[in-house]
Amino acid sequence: MFSIIQAAGWPIWPLIACSVLALALVIERFISLKPSKVAPPNLLDEVMAVTRNGVPGPDVITQLEKNSALGEVLASGLRTLTLNPRCSDEELRAMMESSGRLVAHRLERYLSALATIASAAPLMGLFGTVVGMIEIFGSQAPGSATGGNPAQLAHGISVALYNTAFGLIVAIPALIFWRYFRGRVDEYLLTLELAAEHLARHLISLRK
């Protein structure tokens, strides 16, 4: 492996840094986007059961808020009614939507960085290819009877090919994981939106 890095030349080091960063982001997103941390399957049903006879106490709301991203959104609606029982239906929905936007921003964290790596890695590989081509042409000494330095020519070719290949090796998985996480976040956001609207209607009906 080290011999390949040596053959690829210095342009491959930024690509190695991007690959390490992309791997770290993928691992972090897998951990942060687990269903138990974002939208536990039975959480909405449990909240509906607890609020059947009224708004629960502050301790229950705080515990719900720390449960998951969905719990944070649902708790915002319950806390709004606790602090202001006479708030309008629009104010209740607005507070839950505001909490939902904060959660959405947190779910989308680092996705732009992963997309940037997926876009930049092929360009960085192309840059390494250009560097290799420059070395190839530089090895062709004018007036040389042998047509240039074979060792320098081989090194330039290896720099060009290794950087092109490594750029694609970094970019393709980064793009795949970015699209996967993007779809997963969109699915979570839809779940959070529907759950918040369901609880909002339930809380509004309790006051009537």
Provide the pLDDT for residue 71: 93
Nearest Cα to 173, choosing from 4, 66, 5, 15? 15
Provide the pLDDT for residue 140: 60
Cβ neighbours for 30, distance < 8 A, ≥ 6 positions apart: none
Separation CA 74–CA 47 (nearest Å)? 8
Go through the chain and tell me how many residues it has: 208
Provide the pLDDT for residue 197: 92
Domain with 80, as residue range(s), is 2-206
CA angle 82, 83, 85 (to 5 degrees): 65
Provide the pLDDT for residue 8: 63
Residue 76: both structure tokens together: 């915002």
Number of domains forming the structure of the chain: 1
The count of C-alpha atoms lying within 13 angstroms of the C-alpha of 28, restricted to the half-sphere facing its C-beta, is 15
Provide the pLDDT for residue 145: 46
pTM for the model:
0.83
Map tokens 């269903």 to a residue.
35
Cβ neighbours for 47, distance < 8 A, ≥ 6 positions apart: 64, 71, 74, 78, 199
Residue 113: both structure tokens together: 């960085």
pLDDT in tens, the chain (208 residues): 566 666 667 778 889 999 999 999 999 999 999 999 999 999 999 999 888 888 888 899 999 999 899 999 999 999 988 888 888 888 889 999 999 999 999 999 999 999 999 999 999 988 888 887 877 776 665 554 445 566 667 767 777 788 888 899 999 999 999 999 999 999 999 999 999 999 999 888 877 6
